[in-house]
Amino acid sequence: MDDAKMIKSQIGGLALDVTTNSPVITISPIGSEKILPIWIGHYEAWAIGMEISGIASKRPLTHDLMFSIIKAMGGVVEKVEITALKEQT
């Protein structure tokens, strides 16, 4: 996607949808009250919750490994792009 069309956003929160018993992460454009809910898996919610809370796992999680590889190769994560939503995930 063209960077000019990208919308700078932030994590709004992490919750449990009681009707489906599925975790939901909300993403909000910075400076907006709009909310994009994305239903995610329980493991992903746990990992995101740990990261948001600043709690370190005793062993590296998948995202920790990827971060270490990117950093070791001199790279940086500049952006995350959501390209599609299928069946609310």
CATH superfamily of this structure's domain 3-72: Bifunctional nuclease domain (3.10.690.10)
Is the pLDDT confidence value at 17 over 80?
A: yes
- 76's CB contacts (< 8 A; 6+ apart) are 70
Query: Which pairing describes strands 22-29 and 36-39: parallel, antiparallel, or unpaired?
Result: antiparallel
Whether the per-residue pLDDT at 26 is higher than 90: the answer is yes
What's the pLDDT at 69?
A: 95
Give me the percent of the chain exceeding a pLDDT of 90. 63
In this structure, are residues 38 and 85 in contact, taking their beta carbons and an 8 Å threshold? Answer: yes
- Enumerate the domain spans of the chain: 3-72
pLDDT digits (tens, 9 = 90+) for 51-63: 899 998 888 888 8
2 pLDDT above the threshold of 90: no
Residue 13 confidence (pLDDT): 92
